[in-house]
Amino acid sequence: MDIEPFKVIHYPLKSDLLERVVCPPYDKFTNEQIESFRNQDPHNYVWAILGESLQDHNYYSEAAKRLRAWVAEGVLLQEDSPKVLVYRQTYKSPLTGEEKTRSRFYALLKLPDPGDNAVLPHERTFSEHKA
């Protein structure tokens, strides 16, 4: 299995900005939340992932264009050198109240041949929904 670093793209690390532009995964949104996020900032990530409307059949390609434009405008920053991004989250278990930490990393992964089972998919994706 080949794992490679990549040139991370992120918002500038300013807390006042991050409060306005970060949002949860879009499959958890209500319509009211979508509008609230859109009104918080013209660069809220909901604009990148959902665009103007979910009815637009090109919203994945529009999201890709918008992200490229935000990088070109300096709204999003791209690291000069490739990195593996490590993310740790500490939380209290809703079941036990015990403090737990989960860790993950983000990197490029060369997928093995289908049927190899070296990497197990966590969800089914569709090629027509990728930009």
Domain boundaries, the chain: 2-78
Q: Chain-wide mean pLDDT for the chain?
A: 85
Note the residue count of the chain: 131
- Whether the CB-CB separation of 7 and 82 falls below 8 Å is answered with yes
pLDDT tens for each residue of 39-88: 999 999 988 888 776 565 677 788 888 999 999 999 999 999 999 999 99
Q: Name the token pair of 1.
A: 């299995």
Q: What's the pTM?
A: 0.72
- 69 SS3 class: helix
**Residue 13: which pLDDT band, with cuts at 50, 70 and 90?**
confident
pLDDT score for 53? 62
* pLDDT over 70 (residue 123): no
Phi, psi of 60 (to 5 degrees): -70, -45
Least confident of 52-56, 80-84, 97-101, 107-111: 52-56
User: What pLDDT score does 58 carry?
Assistant: 73
pLDDT of residue 20: 92
CA diameter of the chain = 46
The pLDDT of residue 79: 94
With cut-offs at 50, 70 and 90, classify the pLDDT of residue 1: confident
Tokens of 115: 């049927």
